[in-house]
Structure formats: structure tokens, C-alpha cells
Chains A and B, each alone.
Chain A
Amino acid sequence: MIAAYLVLLIPFIGIVFFAIAGHKTDMGKFNIWLNAVCLLATVWLAVNVLNIGTILSPNKAFLIDPFNVYLIVLTAFVGFTTSIFSSPYMAHEKELGKLTDNRLKLYYSMYQGFMLAMYLVLTTNNMGIMWVAMEGATLATVLLVSLYRTPESIEAAWKYFILCGVGIAQALFGTILLYYAAVQIGDGENALLWSVLYENAAHLNPEILQIAFVFLLIGYGTKIGLVPLHNWLPDAHSEGPTPMSAVLSGLLLNDALYAVVRNKMLVDGASHNNMAGYLMMGFGLLSFLVGALFLHRQKDIKRLFSYSSIEHMGMMTFAFGIGGPMATFAALLHMTVHSLTKSAIFVTVGHASQVAGSQSMGKIRGLIKTQPKVGWGLLIGTIAIAGFPPFGVFTSEFLVLLATMHGYPWLAPLLLLGIGIAFAGLFRHIQPMVYGDKPEGQLPVKANLWPVIIHLGLVLWLGLAIPSFLAHWFSQATLLISGSTPL
């Protein structure tokens, strides 16, 4: 349990420290160290869970089970590698004069603030605190979206704030309804604890829970970026600093989906008509198709990949909605590989736009000739995210497809069509950017591509063979969510 407290304490120290000293040189390096220590703590936590199973803290405030522990490690890992990327990136932005000392303080402090909110969402046992932390994540990142203070970035941040704020308020209404159902059968103070709710799920009033789930899905769904609540996502991703886009896409969306799935487990326990599942399937499929179609008409490289995030989050929501062991396993795997791939892509996108001096895809040309590492990173990342074998995204998408054919065969053509459209949408933009001659005077930038290499290496590994401890872990989580194991 000490490990869990440590995971929460380290980012908290980071917030305070960077708020005072975040503008000094070498703070980027210190940020890396802080995230590295946090990653070690989460690995320690994961080993504990692997050995002794679910941990509930003595005061019942925190719950670590196989489902959230792997997301905690993933969060820490992506947070760590993104901080490696962020260090030279922010230094470069400061050299260009885009940032002042105060904004750098804000950036590093809120980077840690965001990490803290994410860890809190994952570790807490209280559905109310989960909401508070989710809103906290919005509040921490909203000023980072407007970090450059351009009119566009302020507009994006305002949209992000208002849409996510209003959206997440619906989730609070859902949580209140959940609590209302819970107090009818239990004591007040403990009624919102997930462990208590889950034990008594069968006795909760199914009608109230179904209404609650609609609100919870809309609320947290805004954060997942489900269509038609997705408008904030491309704006916030494209206007903020690129390391922020990487963690938003890689972590925030996952954790919002995590919150929805936790609630779905309760609703499924209370009622036996798969209403929650159908809702998730519907919204998921819609987001998947709309995201894929919108890929075609993008002009800004970061907007392109944020639509790709919408598409993939849609697929995961769809897969969790199908339920059943195979689809759940696939969704968990897809969450992992998507996080890793997408944050790697945003790292290369960040460097690519620094090379070209613009985020507009019309101006980014000849990357492989200018800086081969960045060009190949972007190309391989795109191949991975489009779902080519042998990368992990292929495996998970294939499993989703199999589960769909098994349960809802008439939906499989739609999925295949969407994957095809998305593939075309990505490649028509990427090809001219990476191949071809470089424009005059385009020079390489100082870049650290280790995060990309590590992430894509891991995705490749997951595609070729899932290591046994990870498979065990996924099976445990699948068992928890869907009631049986896939293997």
C-alpha cells in the first residue's frame, strides 16, 4: 500500500516544487527523474498486486485491483517517456521565445498536477472522488492548452473548459443518482465506495442505475471524445504544446473510459438487460466511423492524429460494449497499444512540426531526407496505428473484429469499412510528408527519439507475442470485468 501512497505523493511534491522553481534550467531533467521514480513506485505496486491480488487500503479510500493497476503502470510509463520528449522540446520552444519563465513554471507544475489527477482517478475507491479527480484533470490541463496565448489556443482552451465542464457535470448527476440508489440499501458514508457498491450491485435498483448510467456515459464520454461530444478534442490537442497532446491522447482518454467501464460493471450487476452495453456499442461505433471519415479533410497534423484518437477510443468503447471475455480482452489490449503508439506519434509529430516550423501538413515535406529518424518514426508509427501486422494494434483490432463476428456479425462490415477509410485517410496525408525532396533551408532539430523507439518496440513486441505475465494480468482484469477469462 505504501507504493500507492508514494505514487500520489511524488506528483504532489512536483506541483509545489515546480510552481516555485519550474523556470530554472535543467527542470526538464528533474521532471524526468520525478516521473522515473513514480514509474518505479508503480512497478513495485504492480508486483505487489501480482503476488497478493487485490489490495484495499485500511481506510478503504484506495483500491488497487488487476484492472486499474495495469493502467496505473501505463500512465506512469507514458508520463515518463513523454517527459523525456518534453525536456528538449520545451527548451526549444523557449529559445524561439514562445514561452516566458512563468509559463514554464505553470507548464511543469501542471504536468505533475495532471499526473496526480490521473493517478487519483485510477487508485481511488470512491466514485465521488473519481469524479473530482476527473474534473481536476480538466482544470490542470486547461491553462496548458492556452499556454501559447494565441487567439486560437485561447479559443481551444475555452471550448475545452466549457464543453468538458458541462459534460462532466452530467457525470456528477449520474454519480448522485448512483449514490441515491446506494443509500437505499446501505450506510451513508461508505455508500459511494466502489468495493461496497460492487458487492451489493445485485440489490441496487436497476431503473435508477440505468438512468444514472446514461448520465455517466455522457459525462465521462465527453472526456473520451465520443461523437457528438468530441468537438473540444481536436482543438485542445492541436493548440496546446505537443507533450500535452501526447499525454491527453495517451492517458486522459483511457482514464475516462476506465471510469465508464467501472460504472458499467455496476449497472451490469444490477440489471440483466445489456442496456449499458448497447449504449456503449452505439456511441463507440458512431465515434469510430465519424473519426475515420474526418481524417480525410484535415490540414493540421495534430488535428489529424486527434481524429485518429477519436476513432480508436470509439473502437475501444464499442469493444467494451460488446462485453464478453474476448472483446474485453481486446479492448484492454487496444487501450495499451493505442496509448503507446499514439504518444509515440505525437512525439514525432512535435519534432516534425519543429523541423518544418509549422503544423500545417501542406508545409511539412521531405522529412526522411531532412531528419531520417523523425521521418521513419512518423511513418512506422502511422503504420502501427493504422493496424498493420505485426504491430500490437493489429492484434487487438483483429480480436475486436473476431468478437464482433461472433456476437453481432452484421456490424462487422461497418468495422472493416471504418478501418479501411481510416487507413486511406492517414496515408494520403502522411506519404507526401515523409517522402519526397526536402524544401530549401530545412534543417534538423535537436530531438530525443528514445521514447518513440521504446514505445514502438513495445507495440511490436505485443503484436508478435504477449509476454505471459501481461497475458495473465489482462486475463485477471477480463475476469473482473466480464466474469470469465478468455484463455
Chain B
Amino acid sequence: MNIEQTDFYTQAILSMAALVGLTSFLMLGQGRLLRLIFVFALQGLLLTLTTALAAYSLDNPHLYISAALTLVLKVLFVPWMLRREVLLMNMHRDVQALANKTTVMLGGASLMVFSYYVLHPIVQTTSPVMLNALAVSLSVVLLGMLLMISHRQAVAHVVGFMSIENGLFFAAIVATKGMPMVVELGVAFDVLVAAVLFGIFFLHIRTSIDSLDVDLLNRLNEVDK
């Protein structure tokens, strides 16, 4: 199937998938926390646009609610909270040197290839567009994990965590035109509670180890000291 033969909606979804994937890579290589949060908000915005687009083209009004939820939670609330935390801890000036950036980026690229490999069996039952969309979602999930592994700041971990959720939402919208409403509301509620809990945690970690560097959280392990 040629890409010019598909309808406008499908083409738009494909470009959105590409952009969402790109933001994940941008986050992966980002050492400055404020910029990381900005790119994360951008990814949320792309997700909102995709949802609204799906709602419009598929004439499915409940997706508008989902788009609004994404906008409020992922584009406004979470980035605002994280930004406030970074400014409060005076971390916005530190550039965090990422150890072996090249390896991490190469790892990210191979994760993307891996996602395509994993999801390839479903291509027989569906269109290649769907394969692209699902594979990008899965790679956003995996890249979110890689982000958490490669960055040492608690704030970056939260960004990775929330970016994983973004990938999942993208899959839900593109592949299945949104989950049933009750599930979507439940998931949004969980994300909201998780965001609030992260805020509480920052406070606790700050008061107990006076830093948000997770490398300092190393007391509990099975290694004899």
C-alpha cells in the first residue's frame, strides 16, 4: 500500500507517531532538566492533538474528554509541578553530564527496531499503518524505561514514568480508537494520584537525603557492605 493512497486521517496519524517517537529521543539525550520537562510537555501536546484528531475524524465525542484530560494532566499539571520542583531545588542550572550518551542513543535506536520486530506478527491481521503506530507506542514505552535508567535525577524518573503512560495512551487511541470510557477515566485517575504522590515523595526525599539524586538511595540491597 502506498502512502499517498491512504486517507488524510491515516497520514496524519503516521506523522504524529513519527513526532511522538522523535520527542522520546529528544528526551533521552537531554541533560538539562527544564528542557527535559519542556519536551515532555510537547509530547503531551502531540498526544492531545492526536486524540482530538481521532475524535474529529472518527466522530467519537468521548475522545474529546480524553483529549481534555491529557491536556490538563500531561501538558499543564505534571510539567508545572516538576518545573516548580526543579526551580525550588535550584537544579535548573546544573547540566547533568550523561555518561555514554552515544551508547544510550544507539540503545534507543535498537529498542525501536526491537519494537518493530516484536510486533511484526500482527502485520498479517492489520494494516501496515497500525503496525507503525503500535511499534512507535511500544518504543516510547521502552525509551521511557531507558530514560529512567540513564538519568540519575528523581525528576527525570518521573518524566520517564509519565512518558511511558504517554506511549500507552497513544497505542490506545491509534490502535483501538480509545479504551472504553470507564477504563480511560480510571487510568486518568491513577495518573493523577501518581502525580500527586510523586510530589509528596519529592518532599520526603528532599527532607531525608537533601537531594533528588536517586544514586543516594542505595541503602537497601543484598550486597554485603
What residues make up the interface of A, taking CB atoms closer than 8 Å to B?
A: 126, 128-129, 131-133, 135-136, 139, 142-143, 146, 149-152, 154-159, 161-162, 165-166, 169-170, 172-173, 176-177, 179-180, 183-184, 188-192, 205, 207-208, 211, 234-235, 238-239, 294, 297
A358 to B205, CA, bound (A): 24
- CB neighbours (8 Å) of A169 from chain B are 141, 161, 164-165, 168
Q: Which of B21-29, B81-89, B196-204 contacts A (4 or more CB under 8 A)?
A: B196-204
- CB neighbours (8 Å) of A151 from chain B are 208-209, 219
A177 to B176, CA, bound (A): 9
Q: Are A166 and B145 in contact (CB under 8 A)?
A: yes
Other-chain residue from B144, B161, B190, B218 in contact with A136 (beta carbon distance below 8 A): B190
A476 to B200, CA, bound (A): 45
Q: Which of B5-13, B103-111, B115-123 contacts A (4 or more CB under 8 A)?
A: B115-123
Other-chain residue from B121, B122, B187, B204 in contact with A132 (beta carbon distance below 8 A): B187
- CB neighbours (8 Å) of A239 from chain B are 220
What residues make up the interface of B, taking CB atoms closer than 8 Å to A?
A: 118-119, 121-122, 124-125, 134, 137-138, 141, 144-145, 148, 154, 157, 161, 164-165, 167-168, 171-172, 175-177, 179-183, 186-187, 189-190, 193-194, 197, 200-201, 204-205, 208-209, 214, 217-220, 222
DSSP majority for the B interface?
A: helix
- CB neighbours (8 Å) of B171 from chain A are 173, 176
- CB neighbours (8 Å) of A155 from chain B are 217-220
Q: A136-B190, A190-B180 are in contact. List 12 more A-B contacts (CB 8 A).
A: A128-B179, A128-B186, A131-B183, A142-B197, A158-B154, A166-B145, A166-B164, A169-B165, A183-B177, A208-B122, A211-B119, A235-B220
A180 to B176, CA, bound (A): 5
B193 to chain A, nearest CB (A): 5
A239 to B141, CA, bound (A): 30
Other-chain residue from A126, A170, A294 in contact with B182 (beta carbon distance below 8 A): A126
Q: Are B179 and A192 in contact (CB under 8 A)?
A: yes
Q: Are A166 and B148 in contact (CB under 8 A)?
A: yes
A156 to B208, CA, bound (A): 13
Q: Are A208 and B125 in contact (CB under 8 A)?
A: yes
Q: Are A176 and B204 in contact (CB under 8 A)?
A: no
- CB neighbours (8 Å) of A126 from chain B are 180, 182-183
- CB neighbours (8 Å) of B134 from chain A are 177, 180
- CB neighbours (8 Å) of A297 from chain B are 222
A169 to B121, CA, bound (A): 22
A440 to B149, CA, bound (A): 48
- CB neighbours (8 Å) of A208 from chain B are 121-122, 125
B164 to chain A, nearest CB (A): 5
Q: Are A154 and B208 in contact (CB under 8 A)?
A: yes
Q: Are B205 and A162 in contact (CB under 8 A)?
A: no
Which of A165, A234, A238 has the largest count of B CB atoms less than 10 A from its CB?
Answer: A165
- CB neighbours (8 Å) of B208 from chain A are 149-151, 154
Q: Are B180 and A188 in contact (CB under 8 A)?
A: yes
What residue of chain B has the Cβ atom nearest to residue A168's Cβ? B190
Which of B119, B157, B179, B200 has the largest count of A CB atoms less than 10 A from its CB?
Answer: B179
- Known contacts A128-B186, A173-B171: A161-B201 contact under CB 8 Å: yes
B210 to chain A, nearest CB (A): 10
Can you give 24 contacting A-B residue pairs, CB < 8 Å? Answer: A128-B180, A129-B183, A131-B183, A132-B189, A132-B190, A146-B204, A152-B219, A155-B219, A165-B194, A166-B144, A166-B145, A172-B187, A173-B137, A173-B138, A173-B141, A176-B168, A176-B172, A176-B175, A177-B175, A179-B172, A205-B122, A207-B122, A208-B125, A294-B222
What residue of chain B has the Cβ atom nearest to residue A207's Cβ? B121
What residue of chain B has the Cβ atom nearest to residue A61's Cβ? B182
Q: Are A156 and B220 in contact (CB under 8 A)?
A: yes
- CB neighbours (8 Å) of A235 from chain B are 220
- Known contacts A162-B148, A188-B177, A192-B179: A172-B222 contact under CB 8 Å: no
- CB neighbours (8 Å) of A238 from chain B are 220
Other-chain residue from B157, B189, B209, B220 in contact with A162 (beta carbon distance below 8 A): B157
A146 to B177, CA, bound (A): 39
